[in-house]
Structure 1
Amino acid sequence: MALMKKLTVLAGAASAVSYVRKNPEKVNEAVGKAARFVDEKTNGRYHSQIEGAVRKVSETTRPRTAE
């Protein structure tokens, strides 16, 4: 049973990665909305941590350039 759970999690992660690659704008928009919501609910207490997480997501979803 544990193997089936692991496979399910891996399949879910693979589909999430696929979605992020195909829809980076939507992902960034959703993350931004979630960040604003959490920041509002915590009265800005964790603003710098939330801002850092949003920045990481933005960097990750940015299109890669050939180097």
Structure 2
Amino acid sequence: MPLLKKLTALAGAAAAARKYAQKNPEKVNRLATKAGQFVDQRTKGKYHRQIDGAVRKVQSAATRSTPPAR
């Protein structure tokens, strides 16, 4: 049962993050780029392609139009 509670909390947090990203795409894009640069610098470019791909996915999710209300 504790696992189910953790998964529920994680799903709620992910939904809240997705909603925030859709409402504030400029801020999310800026922070994702900054975080990607920080991690890339700390790993000395070893995972540059993976980090760049993750940043692009975050940015595309933030700029996607909001789904229609049900």
Report the identity percentage: 47
Which residue number corresponds to residue 44 of structure 1? Answer: 45
Partner of 2:68: none
| Structure 1 vs Structure 2 CA RMSD | 1.6
Stretches of 4+ aligned residues off by more than 6 angstroms: none
Identify unmatched segments of 5+ residues in structure 2.
Answer: 66-70
Query: How many positions carry a matched residue from both structures?
Result: 64
Map Cα deviations across residues 4-58 of structure 1 (whole Å, 9 max, x no partner): 3332222212211111111111111111111111111111111111111112222
Higher RCO structure, 1 or 2 (CA under 8 Å, sep 6+): 2
TM-score (norm: length of structure 2)? 0.73
Q: Which amino acid aligns with 2:43?
A: T
Cα distance between partner residues in 2 of 1:29 and 1:35:
10
Offset of residue 63 of structure 1: 4.0
Change (3 A) 1:43 1:12: same
- TM score, norm. by length of structure 1: 0.76
